[in-house]
Copies of this chain bind each other. A is one copy, B any other.
Amino acid sequence: MAAEPLRIALAGLGTVGGGVIRLLTANGALIARRAGRPIEIVAVSARDRGKDRGVDLSRFAWEDDLALLAQRDDVDIVVELIGGSDGPALALARRTLGLGKGLVTANKAMIAHHGMELAGAAESANAPLKFEAAVAGGIPVIKGLREGAAANALTRIYGILNGTCNYILSTMEDTGRDFADVLKEAQALGYAEADPAFDIEGTDAAHKLAILAAIGFGAGVAFDQVEVDGITRIRAADIARAQALGYVIRLIGMAECEEGGTRMFQRVQPCLVPRSHPLAAVDGATNAVVAEGNFSGRLLFQGAGAGDGPTASAVVADLIDIARGDAGPPFSVPVAELEPLAAADGATRTGRAYLRFIVADRPGVLAEITAAMRDAGVSIESLIQQGQAAEGGEVLVAMVTHEGPERAVAHALELLRESPSLARPPLVLRLID
């Protein structure tokens, strides 16, 4: 191959960094053919030089100092795989783009918090900034929205964006076991981090959703506007109820363009998904994203949401695009032309809801709950009070509402807020249709 190689510096040698090295080694020849030139790692950096990572690093220059890594004359593109929204990752990203070099990153937190600043810097420097690996692992969904669906006004983007949560929920579904138990197993198997908060509380999915919404709607990244709820309060009994109704429970990130494109709604929340919906069949650590365009109709992208191989596949796809001369602003339109959208008010939305109460086992509780629903104008489609008492003499009451305003449900819960009958705060999930 006579063409000049694209020369890469790799910052961060964890799971994904190792995957990128293995991928470029295994598939180097075909990548050079497709990219029109070889893609070569020339230098690497990580915290601990001595650590055995199971890959041969002797071919690459080592830099202890990230700043020097970006500055090397023999480096065209920096691949940032350090992680963290700020700190060394952000410093490296700023320095790289400031030097007019390209940046490829898998760092969803950094893009969700600083994507606009970094995209602006990339555009000023006329340098590429790409982050396919930041959302949904190996699935080319950023490319799918930014390019594949580019002819469409997208109205809605939603999907399963966190593999850990999906693994936990689908395992709970398959085994009937409870959340804490399955989480512990997921940690032992490496599907969940020792500190799982980022995943199970929905933050990680919210980062990804905010990035997809920005690209899909031509808005700025508005991570602070995402309503976030995690899966920690889902019980085996909720999953059983959902199943009896023909639904599964999935953590869904959903973004909608509202009011003729003037407002944006973003929410991460466990939802009841009908068995017939493509997302209901998404099991284990798989991710899937649906995008609805005004001409394309419903597009679905599905695949592995994490793991060294899939994530490395997305990182290197970005590098191949750069090697081919792929151009264009990171968020599809230039940062200066993005139209920041105000947050839509979730309470003005309508839909069906699943409500679950843990109540004291005594007379009049059901009457109290149903009266609150009536007074708030919430119409109940089905209700079940579970026969056997739950832990500590508590009883589970689950209901599904008819289509109606979310505001009415919130009002009903407000009416019940001081009730001594409720042993815990109620759980509210939405139904996707």
Contacts and interface: CB of A to CB of B under 8 A. Distances in A.
A12 interface: no
A328 interface: yes
A298 interface: yes
A366 interface: no
A135 interface: no
Interface in A258-297: 276, 278, 281, 288, 293-297
A312 B295 CA distance: 7
Contacts of A144: 140, 143-144, 148, 301
Nearest to A320: B150
Contacts of A23: 151, 295
A134 B337 CA distance: 32
A381 interface: no
Contact of A297 (B140, B300, B310): B310
B317 A147 contact: yes
A77 to B, nearest CB: 14
Contacts of A321: 147, 150
Interface stretch (A30-38, A109-117, A369-377, A425-433): A30-38
A99 interface: no
Contacts of A31: 150-151
Contacts of A326: 326-327
Given A138-B299, A320-B147, A30 B153 contact: yes
A138 B298 CA distance: 9
A310 B332 contact: no
A316 interface: yes
Contacts of A302: 278, 299-302
Contacts of A147: 140, 143, 147, 317, 320-321
A344 interface: no
A2 to B, nearest CB: 13
B140 A19 contact: no
B317 A150 contact: yes
A325 interface: yes
Contacts of A314: 151, 296
A327 B322 CA distance: 11
A169 to B, nearest CB: 17
Contacts of A46: none
Nearest to A297: B304
A194 interface: no
Nearest to A132: B148
A139 B143 CA distance: 12
Give the interface centre of A298, A299, A314, A319 by most chain B CB atoms within 10 Å: A299
Contacts of A148: 132, 139-140, 143-144, 317
Given A138-B293, A324-B327, 8 more contacts: A26-B295, A27-B151, A34-B333, A138-B299, A150-B317, A278-B281, A300-B302, A300-B303
6 tightest A-B contacts by CB? A140-B148, A151-B316, A300-B302, A296-B313, A138-B296, A295-B309
30 contacts: A26-B153, A27-B153, A30-B153, A30-B218, A31-B151, A34-B150, A138-B293, A143-B143, A144-B144, A150-B320, A151-B313, A151-B314, A151-B317, A278-B278, A278-B281, A278-B302, A281-B281, A295-B312, A295-B316, A296-B310, A296-B314, A297-B303, A297-B304, A297-B307, A297-B310, A300-B300, A324-B327, A325-B328, A326-B326, A326-B327
